[in-house]
Amino acid sequence: MDNLVDILDSFQPGWRKKEYVENFITILRDKVIPAYSFMDSKIENGRAVFPKEWDQVIYALKEAHFFELFVPPEYGGQKTSEEDIYFAMELLGYSSPGMGIIFVSHGRAIDILAMGTEKQKQEFLPRMAQGHLGAIAITEEKAGSDAGAVELMAKKVDHHYLVNGQKIFISNSGLADVYTVLASTKDIKGPRSLSVLIVESDTPGFTINRLPEKEGLKILPTGKLIFKDSPVPLANMVGNEGMGLLLTLDVIDRGRIHIAGICCGLAYRIFREIYHYAHRRKQFDHPLTSSQDISFQISDMYSKINAARGLCFQALRQFGTPYYRMSSSQAKLFASQMVMDIAAKAQILMGGRGYLKNDLINQLSADARGMEYLEGTSNVQKMIIARELFRMYHKEKNNVD
């Protein structure tokens, strides 16, 4: 892990000297990495259940003020830069990718709440700075890539909405205290009918069911949210009615760069494991690294990791510009494909050991395959990139004309 810290510090000299960084690295090294192979979660009676080590990690992160990094100072946090959050996600990707996704979902919920009213921010953000987790709920059975097809209905009755319907594949199910939920608040269908509502975990009629066990990302609680006449105050709408899809798409753009960072950290972990294995493993009295074919494959792996990281840093530099949506999609597309490719090659290089269910490389590879589905599949990223390119060149053509 020290090598990865040095690499990240080289991109932003002085980063590792920041107050929270040393404590964060210590927590990952001493508590998260040793527990990676057995740290999982399950949903029981609507709540996420973890091994006892989870409580130790969360307590340590609270003590290190990690949760405060996502929240502005005026609400009890010490909001840091996008680069710092990205570095944290790379380190989490190296240590526990599923835990990284827990904090991506948490961060996106905070991003949405930060666009709310002052009353909403005063009510929820200080709690989240103290360690109460958030989640963002968009996906439904018939509304995955097509978020405009959301059918979860929120009907206005007196001074609240009655929410009915379901969400599925929601990260932080049963773990979050605050859910930012995309729902239809108008009788018409389509994107302009959608709004974001803040739903607290103890809302009447709101329950959470488990889903079948995932192949990887075991620590990430992923479930189905069920709403049956769940009352949500009118004051819990974030932003204007009918503008919810635009609001959520904006924060998802920000989440893609963090998923890409997790991919880079995970890929570096896989690279490190296969490099040391190839150096130790001998055939015909020579280490595997003495083979030109193996050394070329390892060189290719490392180059692809840095290529993905380069796209991530380009996107970070374009944060806040009109080019950020396309650059964050490019970073996520390349990084998620890169980590799957490296994981597949690593398993082959490991031989039969790489096929054993409980072997570390197999577990890391299962995590790598899960990255494809987060914040939009590869085809969704290609669609976004193409759309942004068409918009950019159409604008250029009009200016020329």
Q: Which of 145, 186, 202, 147 is nearest to 376 (CA)?
A: 145
384: amino acid identity, one letter:
I
Residue 186: half-sphere exposure toward Cβ, Cα within 13 Å: 14
Distance CA 36, CA 50 (A): 12
**Is 82 assigned a catalytic role?**
no
What is the pairing mode between strands 286-287 and 282-283? antiparallel
Q: Which of 7, 5, 51, 49 is nearest to 25 (CA)?
A: 5
| Residue among 90, 140, 372, 375 flagged as catalytic | 375
Q: Which residue has the tokens 């080590």?
A: 53
**N residues, the chain:** 401
Q: How far apart are the first and last CA of the chain?
A: 54
How would you classify residue 231: left for phi > 0, otherwise alpha for psi between -120 and 50, otherwise beta? beta
CA quadruple 318, 323, 324, 328: dihedral, nearest 10: -110
Enzyme catalytic residues = 375
